[in-house]
Chain A
Amino acid sequence: SQQGEEDPQALSIQEGENATMNCSYKTSINNLQWYRQNSGRGLVHLILIRSNEREKHSGRLRVTLDTSKKSSSLLITASRAADTASYFCATVLQAGTALIFGKGTTLSVSS
């Protein structure tokens, strides 16, 4: 089953621009996580935000969570060509259970 829906499905920007991806989900969550996946490769964990948190930062990443709207956003500032990848949000409904992934956003950053 899938819980998250990301938008946009695809995003193309120039280096130096900011990229914003959104994720909506359907049920109450324990936490929400963002992952990156380069083409044909494994997952890289980016950031985790808990249901009682509203915003977190990690380097050029900024994640927000609005539990009332059941949505989250991932902002990548000053994007680089190396940021080109697919980005997935994943929710955890109860602590210790599996991640449920959204459909993902494919980001292309051109130099």
Chain B
Amino acid sequence: GAVVSQHPSRVICKSGTSVKIECRSLDFQATTMFWYRQFPKQSLMLMATSNEGSKATYEQGVEKDKFLINHASLTLSTLTVTSAHPEDSSFYICSAKDRRGGPDTQYFGPGTRLTVL
């Protein structure tokens, strides 16, 4: 089956630093990837839609200059949290659409837990 990986799985950083999270589709090509954020005991909130070779589309209220998304290839999208603050501590999850599959074919990564001290 289709596999999506995320790296790192956990990261702890100091306030003010930047953190990059990678989302990779391991055995399929993904023209579209989605980034979600989940705070403790809450649901997943869509942050942005990332299309290969073009700029990401951000949801209302998500700062594009703070959460930089790059989708430079059909198998890799990265989310960089710039100048991280403790309130950015969260569980970040990506999903990827298989370009060969139907429109409903999305596969989720295992998530990255970010803790900002």
Whether B32 is near chain A, meaning CB under 8 Å from some CB there, is: yes
A104 and B91 alpha carbons, distance in the complex (Å): 16
Q: Which B77-117 residues have a C-beta within 8 angstroms of A? A: 91, 93, 95, 97, 103-104, 106, 108-111, 113
Do B43 and A42 have beta carbons less than 8 Å apart?
Answer: no
Do A41 and B110 have beta carbons less than 8 Å apart?
Answer: yes
Would you give the 0/1 interface string for B14-39, flagging 1 where the beta carbon is closer than 8 Å to chain A?
00000000000000000010101000
Q: Give the size category of B's interface with A.
A: 20 to 34
8 Å CB contact of A99 from B42, B46, B60, B111: B46
Whether A103 is near chain B, meaning CB under 8 Å from some CB there, is: yes
A100 and B44 alpha carbons, distance in the complex (Å): 8
- The chain B residue with its CB closest to the CB of A96 is B103
Would you give the 0/1 interface string for B58-91, flagging 1 where the beta carbon is closer than 8 Å to chain A?
0110000000000000000000000000000001
Do B108 and A31 have beta carbons less than 8 Å apart?
Answer: no
Would you give the 0/1 interface string for A1-18, flagging 1 where the beta carbon is closer than 8 Å to chain B?
110000000000000000
- List chain B residues, Cβ under 8 A from A99: 34, 44, 46, 95, 106
- List chain B residues, Cβ under 8 A from A63: none
- The chain B residue with its CB closest to the CB of A42 is B110
CB of B43 to closest CB in A, whole Å = 5
Please indicate which of the listed interface residues B93, B95, B104 has the most CB atoms of chain A within 10 Å of its own CB. B104
CB of A36 to closest CB in B, whole Å = 11
A95 and B108 alpha carbons, distance in the complex (Å): 17
What would 17 more interface pairs be, CB under 8 Å, given A2-B43, A43-B108, A98-B46? Answer: A41-B110, A43-B93, A45-B108, A88-B44, A95-B103, A96-B103, A96-B104, A98-B49, A99-B46, A99-B106, A100-B46, A101-B44, A101-B45, A101-B46, A103-B42, A103-B43, A104-B43
Give B residues with C-beta under 8 Å from A.
Answer: 32, 34, 36, 42-46, 49, 59-60, 91, 93, 95, 97, 103-104, 106, 108-111, 113
Give A residues with C-beta under 8 Å from B.
Answer: 1-2, 30-31, 33, 40-43, 45, 48, 88, 92, 95-104
